[in-house]
Amino acid sequence: MFQPVRGTHDLYGEECQKHLKVIETAREITQWYGYDEIITPIFEFEGVFHRLGETSDVVSKETYTFTDRGGDSLTLRPECTAPVVRAAISNGLTQQLPLKFFYAGSMFRYDRPQKGRFRQFEQVGVELCGVSEPQGDVEVIALAAHILERLGLSGRVILEINTLGDMESRNAYREALVSYFKRYTSSLSKESLERLEKNPLRILDSKDKKDQEIVREAPVFNEFLSHLSKAHFEDVLKSLELLKISYKINRKLVRGLDYYCHTAFEFISDELGAQGTVLAGGRYDGLFKMMEGPDLSGVGWAAGVQRLMLLSHLTLAQKSLVALVPLGEVAEAQALILAQQLRKQGIAVDLGFSGNMSKRLKRAHKMEAQWAIILGEDEIREHVALARNLVSGEQTKIPLSQLAEYLLVERSPS
């Protein structure tokens, strides 16, 4: 009862700091591309997700859906694209195109916990709405590559990309797939047989070994692409080459929901086991209309923060903490005032609550403080503090009126 729920975990200490650094890195770089942050509720009416594709595993098997006290059926968000689109429509933002959003927050899926995957997990992502041109696809991919580069992942992830075509192309391909897979109904897995009726494109993504053998000889989507779809994809690839963003075409890369079209992409790593996707996205031109909004284009991606943390080997900035060490009751009161004065000038201060000088210095070393500011009766009488550098061991008497300036200068890079 008093353990974390399976598939969840607590973040604290260095892991928490690295988690925040991933998010801050993504937040900073998306701002350079003109994206504004949006925060949506962690739960929505069930229909925001469930009406959009019951053939998706996320929707049909993995959502946390519950009835609240008012009788409404609500779903904890399993992803953030649909909530962002809902927010754009319900807040009347679709008159201000293009819309460029960044988000960071918790998502919830009832999935088998494994390396880098939890039932409550954090994602960062972007949505670019109202841009139908291939340049929209290129911008969000370039933005993703920029963030991964900043996190030190260049050369350790591969961009896989495919086109899902337009609706005309998908319908033609769907008919060809159904015709092909019906010849193998006795060999397909149970899951693929269900997909054959609802969404045959998902069979291409099957992890079942027998299914994969059958898929090898399946019709190739490229043969069914309309001229418009081919041109869109070629423009995307040419632009990626201009930006020197390497890619690998994966014709079996698909999306399970009908509103996805044209470009689909994933950044893949071989360092995370079977679940190697680090960041995934694509174009969803049909989603706004499906959610009873205007017929707008959309393209975006999402990345799991935990997976980025596992891969990136982040190094944290060295702490510049100051430990105040008061000696005696009078010094305790003076230290309380001094600590607040220093904090208000941007200096991180730890004020131990009890203990003699030896214990407080041990605590300062354990916290990796750079300075110990020792304050005793003699120092108070002289209006000074004894500043001890905990790296070099050197001590200097500093007038209290100059202490903040001294510490700010000493901690600045030379």
79 assigned to a ligand binding site: yes
pLDDT tens-digit profile of 192-208? 998 888 788 888 878 88
81 assigned to a ligand binding site: yes
Give the integer Cα–Cα distance in Å for 130 and 133. 9
Reading the block at residue 261, the tokens are 């079209």
Q: What is the mean pLDDT of residues 205-212?
A: 88
Give the integer Cα–Cα distance in Å for 308 and 279. 9
Cβ contacts of 295 within 8 Å, gap of 6 or more: 288, 289
Q: Are 80 and 88 in contact (CB under 8 A)?
A: no
Q: Per-domain residue ranges for the chain?
A: 13-166+226-312, 322-408
pLDDT tens-digit profile of 367-382? 889 999 999 999 999 9
Q: Do domains 13-166+226-312 and 322-408 have the same CATH topology?
A: no
Residue 412 has pLDDT above 70, yes or no: no
127 assigned to a ligand binding site: yes
Terminus-to-terminus CA distance in the chain, angstroms? Answer: 52
Give the integer Cα–Cα distance in Å for 248 and 239. 14
Tally helices (H) and strands (E) across the chain. 15, 16
Please state which architecture CATH assigns to domain 13-166+226-312: 2-Layer Sandwich (3.30)
Q: What is the mean pLDDT of residues 113-126?
A: 85
Q: Find the helix or strand (DSSP H, E) in which 404 lies.
A: helix 403-411
Mean pLDDT score of the chain: 90
- Residue 126's DSSP bridge partners are 102, 301
> What pLDDT is stored for residue 29 in this prediction?
97
Per DSSP, the three-state class of 145 is helix
CA atoms within 13 A on the CB side of 57: 11
16 assigned to a ligand binding site: no
Give this prediction's pTM.
0.86
pLDDT tens-digit profile of 240-252? 999 999 999 998 8
CATH (residue range 322-408)? 3.40.50.800
